[in-house]
Amino acid sequence: MNNRIDDQFSSTQRQAVEEAVRRAEETTACEIIPVVAEASGRYDRGEDMIGLWCGVLAAIAIWTWFPARSVEAGSGAWGAGTGALGLVLLVAGIVGGFLVGAAIASRTAWLRRLAVPRKQQHEEVARRAREVFFDQRVHHTTGRTGLLIYVSLLEHEVTVLADQEILAHPALGTLLLERTRDLLVGRLKTGDVAEALASTIREIAPTLAAALPIRPDDTNEHPDALVLLPSP
C-alpha cells in the first residue's frame, strides 16, 4: 500500500479544505493555514523496538523447534555439530527477525505508535508544529493574524498555534485555540481528515470574523491550499 501523504488526499478533498479557507478569509483578517503531516517524528527507536521484539520471538521459536528436530534426526550422534548448528540458527533468527520487524514497523504507522511513549509523541508534534509555524511564515502576516491548524496523522494529534493579534484578543486567545483543537479532534474521530478540517474552519469562521473582521486593504498573504508534509 502506498503511504505517501500526497496520495492520501484526493483533489476533491483538497479543494474542500481550500474552499473552506477561502470563504473564511473573505470575512476575517485572519490568515488560516491548514497543515497535515504524515508524522512529526522519525521514531527510529520505535522501529528498533519492534525489530527487537520480532528477533526475540524468532529466537524463542527456534529454541523451541530445534531440539525437537535434533531428537527426530535419530540417536547415536555425538560431537558439537548439532549444538553449533543450533547456535547459527538462533543468531540468524534474531538478526532476521530484527530486520523484518524493523522493516514492517517503518511501513506500519500503528506499530510505530505502539512502540513510542505517548509523551515523546506529544513532544515531537509540538516541536514540529512550532517549526511549521515559522517555516510557513505564519508569524509574518501584516496584522500578526496567522492561525496554524496542524494535524499529525501517525500520532493522531492536533495542535493549533496563533500569532500575537489572535492570542492577545479578548474574544479569541487560547480559548479559540482550544476550541478549534477540540472541534477538530472530535470530527477526526468520526470523519475523514479533509472534511474534519473543512467543517472545523467553517465553524470557527464567524468567531474570527466578529473579532477580526476583514479590512478594506486586506490582501491574501498565504495560499489557501491544504499543506501536506511527508514524514521527516
Could you read off the pLDDT of 136-150 as tens digits, one per residue? 888 888 889 999 999
Residue 92: pLDDT over 80? no
5-41+117-229 adopts what CATH topology?
Answer: Diaminopimelate Epimerase; Chain A, domain 1 (3.10.310)
- Give per-residue pLDDT as tens, 99-118: 776 676 666 666 666 767 88
> Which three cell numbers mark 50?
519492534
- Quick one: cell of 146? 496567522
For range 28-40, the mean pLDDT: 94
22 three-state secondary structure = helix
Instruction: Give me the residue spans of the domains in the chain.
Output: 5-41+117-229, 44-115
Number of other residues whose CB lies within 10 A of the CB of residue 61: 12
Confidence check: pLDDT of 183 > 70:
yes
pTM recorded for the entire structure: 0.77
DSSP three-state, residue 135: helix
Spatial distance between the Cα atoms of 93 and 56, rounded to a whole number of angstroms: 8
Instruction: Return the C-alpha cell found at 162.
Output: 496563533
- Between 79 and 18, the more confident residue is 18
**What is the pLDDT, as a whole number, of residue 124?**
93
